[in-house]
Chains A and B, each alone.
Chain A
C-alpha cells in the first residue's frame, strides 16, 4: 500500500465528502439501520464484559468474602504491574508467541505452496490431511501431547531414545526448557494449518499474468517469489500473522493441561485464570484480564500501524 492511498481510506471512514446529495445521505442512513442491530449486539457481547471487568478490577473483592469488598482504585493494577510474576508471565507468553508465529509462518507458507501447486486430483485430500490438526479441539490435542511426552505414560522417550539428549529418563515436564519446547511444538502442530490456509487464499490472489510476465522476462523461481508473489500477498501474510499472534498471545489450554504453570511456564491467560477462578480474587483477576486485553489491543495496533495492513484489501473489498 502506498502512502498516497492512506488519505483515501481515512476520508472514506471519517465522514461524508463535502457535497452530500440527499440520496447519499439516505443510503448512509439505510446503512446504519441495517448495521445498527449488529453493532448493538457487538457492544453487548464484547464491550459490556470488558467494561464490567474494568469495573470489577477497581475493587478488592474475594468471592468467598463478599462483605470485605472495598474500592481500591487502581491498586490492583499497581499490585500486578509491580510483581515479577506478571512480568515473567508476559515474558514467557511473548517467547511462545514469537517462536510459534515465526516457525508457523515459514512452515505454513511451505504447506500453502504445496497445496497451491498440488495436482487437482490430489488437492482435496492434501488439504484435508493438512487441516486435520486444526480440526482437533485444543484441549484434546494438549492431552494427546501431554500423554505422549509424559515420563510414565509417554512413548516419545522409548521411541526416540536413539536421539542424543533423549533417554528413558527424560522428564519433559520437569524443567522450563523442555516443558516450553513441548508446549511450543504442540502449538505449532495445532495451528500451522490455520496460517497455511490463510496464506493459500493469499497465493490464489496473485495474478497469473504477473507470474507469466516475470517468467517471460527470465526471472528465476526465487526472483518471482520475492518480486511478485510475496509483495502481492502482503496483506494476506500480515493478516495471517496478526491473527496467529493474537491467538498465540492468548495461549491457555496447552499450559493448563501440560504443566499447570509449573517450572515457570505460566502464561498471562493462565495467570488471569488462577487469580479469578482458583483464588476467587475477582478484583485482582479482572485487573490481569484487563491488562491482557490491553496487550491484545496493543498488538493489533502495532501490526496495523507498523506493517500498514489494510484489512479491507485483504478481504478483497478494494
Chain B
C-alpha cells in the first residue's frame, strides 16, 4: 500500500543538515546530501524536501553511518520561510537562478 501520510501536494518541510565525520568519509555524506539539498558551506546543507525525500535521506544516512560519524538534521514543517541574513561572500540560499 503506497500511501503518504500527507496530502499529495503537501508534506513539505525545510531542512538543514550538518555533519561532522572523519575527513576520509566526508565524500560519502556530501554525495548523498548534494543530490537533494543546496550545499551552502563545507558541511552545511539546506533545502525544501518532501516527507518521502526526508525519509529516504534518513534511511540512506543510517545505512552509511559509522560509530564516530555525527550528523544532525533540523527540520521544520512550518510553511513560513526561515529568516536568514548572509554576510561576506555567501550566496542567497534557495535561488532558482544560476
Say whether A and B bind each other: no
